[in-house]
């Protein structure tokens, strides 16, 4: 594993010898570099300028139609022993993985530029930040990494001084899905990715480094790398409380992290620290402190508008890279869920026809710097991060799970996280709308055996003295006719207010076998909310028979991870099952 500048140079040279690019360019994230890249991409058609009057410095990128989402079936954890990766991961022995990659990588950059991207995850001054270097032949990747990570000349100086870094080798290859692999070698601090230019497969700093490799390191070192947003909520009395929330992909993490308080919440403020990934360390005070390793957003575009997410909507009107959205006659980006405008060109660049399907791809994305978010928290740059008072688990559950549920203790909270399940979305290739188990929203991202991961979660009890409370939320419960029972978006602050009150110990709760519920008639702030009483009844209804089936199913799911499922979780599950 290289840990010095000489070793970095050697690695770049060796990689260049294999890939045979026309030239090598070291990147530093500067404006000048961006100017050059942009001109080049505009010339080659990798980028298209959008309306400079209404969308200044915004560009559109169209990806290959077969390359629009993460590919879980082609993503591997490559450890010497299969049991290290666990049934939650696809596994390949390291040697075989290296050989497959080398074959596809040989000569793959002929006629192209090889870019070297040194980057930092986490605030530059943070003791918890990590360095990485990605080699890629995609200028689109460089353009995105410039927004999503901290690219700074100081990184090479730190590598010179001997600091370790994660290596990433990436090529879009020939974009053939049959020759696509996303390979992780946690023991080698190495990622190899070929055949895709899509975000999660190609921006190696994100899912590959900050979750799959980092979760492995976190377990060795006693911290946590999680698929969680980080948000600060400041009631009018002044003190800001920070929450971390794990929701599966495309379930509203970005919306919740930049929520705008509804009218009734005058004087409340919401601060975004992160919208996708949290690194959680135990502070000197025994609490969990969170940093967001990223410096930008790679958010889902469809559904974003002035009502659902006013901050994001405002933010993506400048300095944004759009991927796979449609375009209007005014050359403005367009997507489903935008109440105004008409698409004339679809995400594939064809004249728009309703019979072709959605105008924007359901997984179309925006990339932009987090500092452009009007709710951006200056604590995002705090080297220590922010202290976490509550952890939320949520997903798309049309039935069963109430609007909010509090766990009884840490073990019960971990069980809640294990029981997380959600409808699949367009963020990954495959069928959408199918409920699947996605413990802690980490199914696609945990770099090792889930049994060991749950043990690691439980072990936080022995390491930290003031752990956050754990809650489960569900904004997506539906009535018999498939209509959502809860308005969601800004109104979710009502639920968060209850969560904060519970953290402060200022409201009682109703105990049920599956957790604590608010007395919605008196403890949940429902002022000026247009939700009929029957809907509220249903939102909090605990169907004991359905929960029994849920826990039976969770028990079956656990048996896939046996014998590594911690006994404490099995016992907790059995106890709830008995009580039900």
Active site residue 251: yes
- Shortest distance, position 395 Cβ to ligand OXD, whole Å: 13
Give the separation between CA 304 and CA 188, rounded to whole angstroms. Answer: 39
Single out the residue of 29, 94, 132, 200 in contact with ligand OXD (rule: CB under 6 A). 200
8 A C-beta contact, residue 79 and residue 85: yes
User: With the C-alpha atoms ordered 315, 316, 318, 323, is the resulting torsion angle positive or negative?
Assistant: positive
Site for ligand OXD in 444-503 (CB under 6 A): none
Our finding on whether 385 is near ligand OXD (CB under 6 A) is: no
CB of 536 to Mn ion, least distance (A): 31
Among 29, 94, 139, 199, which residue sits at the site for ligand OXD (rule: CB under 6 A)? 199
Residue 212 in contact with ligand OXD, rule: CB under 6 A? no
Pairwise CA distance, residues 283 & 464, whole Å? 8
CB nearer to ligand OXD: pick between 202 and 517: 202
Q: Binding residues for Mn ion, how many (CB under 5 A)?
A: 2
> What residue is closest to ligand OXD based on CB?
249
In the complex, what is the shortest distance from the CB of residue 276 to ligand OXD, in angstroms, rounded to a whole number?
Answer: 5
Asked if residue 276 binds Mn ion (CB under 5 A), the reply is yes
Task: Say whether residue 70 binds ligand OXD (CB under 6 A).
Answer: yes
294 with 121: CB under 8 angstroms? Answer: yes
What minimum distance in Å lies between the beta carbon of 445 and ligand OXD?
Answer: 8
Nearer to ligand OXD, 219 or 253 (CB): 253
Instruction: Kindly identify the residues of this chain, within the stretch 399-438, that bind ligand OXD according to CB under 6 A.
Output: 427
Range 239-258, binding ligand OXD (CB under 6 A): 249
Pairing status of strand 23-26 against strand 113-121: parallel
Q: Which does 290 bind (CB under 5 to 8 A by kind): Mn ion, ligand OXD, none?
A: none
Task: Please state the closest distance from residue 200 (CB atom) to ligand OXD, in A.
Answer: 5
90 close to 107: Cβ distance less than 8 angstroms = no
Give kind and range of the element (H or E) at residue 254. Answer: helix 253-257
Catalytic residue among 58, 120, 208, 251: 251
User: Which of Mn ion, ligand OXD, none has residue 394 at its interface (CB below 5 to 8 Å by kind)?
Assistant: none
Q: Say how far apart CA 568 and CA 570 lie, in whole Å.
A: 6
Give the shortest CB-293-to-ligand OXD separation in angstroms: 13
Using an 8 Å Cβ cutoff, are 194 and 173 in contact?
yes
Give the bridge partners for 390, in sequence order.
Answer: 243, 469
Whose CA is closest to 307, among 487, 478, 531? Answer: 487
Sign of the alpha-carbon dihedral angle for 72, 77, 83, 84: negative
> Do 468 and 388 meet the contact criterion of CB atoms below 8 Å apart?
yes
Q: Count of CB atoms within 10 A of residue 566's CB? A: 22
Q: State in angstroms the smallest separation of the CB of 147 from Mn ion.
A: 16
63 near 198, Cβ under 8 Å? yes
Among the listed residues 249, 292, 309, 572, the single contact to Mn ion using CB under 5 A: 249
Instruction: Indicate the residue among 21 and 199 with the shorter CB distance to ligand OXD.
Output: 199
Say how many residues touch ligand OXD, by CB under 6 A.
Answer: 7
186 binds ligand OXD (CB under 6 A): no
Residue 67 interacting with ligand OXD (CB under 6 A): no
72 Rama sector, left if φ>0, alpha if ψ -120 to 50, beta otherwise: alpha
Which residue's Cβ lies closest to Mn ion? 276
Smallest separation (angstroms) from ligand OXD to the CB of 528 = 33
Distances (CA, A) of 309 to 75, 258, 262, 400, 562: 32, 7, 12, 27, 42
Contacts 24+ apart (CB under 8 A), 343-348: 347/62, 348/62, 348/65
Measured CA to CA, the distance from residue 257 to residue 327 in angstroms comes to 27
Q: Which token pair is 179?
A: 């020759």
Asked if 276 is part of the footprint of ligand OXD (rule: CB under 6 A), the reply reads yes
- Contact with ligand OXD (CB under 6 A): which of 165, 298, 335, 450? 298
Are 359 and 344 in contact by the 8 Å Cβ rule? The answer is no
When CB distances are held under 5 to 8 angstroms depending on the partner's kind, the choice from ligand OXD, Mn ion, none that residue 281 binds is: none
Active site (catalytic) residues: 251
- Residues in the site for ligand OXD, rule: CB under 6 A? 70, 199-200, 249, 276, 298, 427
- Residues in the site for Mn ion, rule: CB under 5 A? 249, 276
């Amino acid at each position: 594993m290289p840990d010095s500048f000489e070793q970095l140079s050697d690695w770049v040279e060796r990689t260049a010898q294999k890939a045979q690019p026309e030239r090598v360019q070291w990147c530093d994230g500067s404006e000048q570099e961006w100017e050059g890249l942009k001109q080049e991409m505009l010339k080659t058609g990798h980028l298209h300028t959008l309306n400079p009057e209404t969308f200044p410095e915004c560009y559109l990128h169209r990806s290959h139609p077969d390359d629009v989402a993460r590919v879980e079936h082609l993503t591997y954890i490559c450890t010497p022993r299969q049991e290290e990766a666990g049934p939650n991961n696809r596994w390949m022995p390291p040697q075989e993985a290296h050989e497959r990659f080398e074959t596809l990588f040989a000569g793959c950059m002929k006629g192209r530029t090889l870019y070297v991207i040194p980057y930092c995850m986490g605030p530059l001054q943070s003791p918890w930040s990590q360095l990485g270097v990605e080699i890629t032949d995609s200028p689109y990747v460089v353009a995105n990494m410039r927004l999503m990570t901290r690219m700074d000349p100081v990184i090479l100086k730190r590598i010179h001084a001997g600091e370790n870094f994660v290596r990433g080798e990436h090529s879009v290859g020939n974009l053939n899905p049959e020759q696509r692999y996303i390979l992780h070698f946690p023991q080698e601090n190495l990622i190899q990715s070929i055949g895709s230019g899509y975000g999660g497969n190609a921006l190696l700093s994100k899912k590959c480094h900050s979750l799959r490799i980092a979760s492995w390191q976190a377990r060795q070192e006693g911290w946590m790398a999680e698929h969680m947003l980080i948000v600060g909520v400041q009631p009018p009395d002044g003190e800001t409380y920070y929450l971390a929330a794990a929701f599966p992909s495309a379930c509203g993490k970005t919306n919740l992290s930049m929520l705008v308080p509804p009218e009734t919440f005058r004087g409340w403020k919401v601060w975004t620290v992160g919208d996708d990934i949290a690194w959680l360390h135990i502070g000197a005070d025994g609490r969990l402190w969170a940093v967001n390793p990223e410096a930008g957003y790679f958010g889902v575009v469809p559904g974003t508008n002035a009502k659902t997410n006013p901050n994001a909507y405002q933010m993506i009107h400048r300095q944004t890279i759009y991927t796979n959205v449609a375009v209007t006659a005014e050359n403005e980006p367009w997507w489903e869920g935008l109440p105004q405008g008409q698409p004339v060109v679809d995400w594939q660049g064809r004249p728009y026809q309703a019979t072709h399907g959605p105008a924007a791809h359901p997984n179309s994305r925006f990339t932009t710097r987090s500092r452009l978010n009007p709710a951006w928290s200056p604590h995002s740059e705090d080297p220590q991060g922010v202290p976490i008072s509550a952890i939320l688990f949520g997903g798309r559950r049309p039935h069963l799970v109430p609007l909010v549920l509090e766990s009884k203790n840490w073990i019960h909270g971990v069980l809640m996280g294990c029981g997380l399940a959600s409808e699949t979305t367009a963020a990954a290739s495959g069928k959408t709308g199918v409920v699947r188990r996605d413990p802690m929203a980490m199914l696609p991202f945990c770099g090792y055996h889930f049994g060991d991961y749950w043990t690691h979660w439980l072990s936080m009890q022995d390491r930290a003295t003031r752990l956050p409370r754990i809650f489960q939320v569900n904004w997506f419960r539906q009535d018999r006719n498939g209509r959502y029972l809860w308005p969601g978006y800004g109104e979710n602050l009502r639920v968060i207010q209850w969560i904060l009150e519970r953290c402060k110990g200022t409201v009682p709760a109703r105990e049920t076998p599956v957790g604590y519920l608010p007395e919605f008639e008196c403890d949940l702030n429902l002022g000026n909310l247009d939700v009929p009483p029957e809907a509220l009844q249903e939102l909090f209804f605990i169907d004991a028979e359905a929960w029994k089936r849920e826990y039976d199913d969770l028990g079956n799911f656990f048996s896939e991870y046996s014998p590594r499922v911690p006994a404490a979780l099995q016992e907790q599950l059995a106890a709830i099952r008995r009580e039900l």
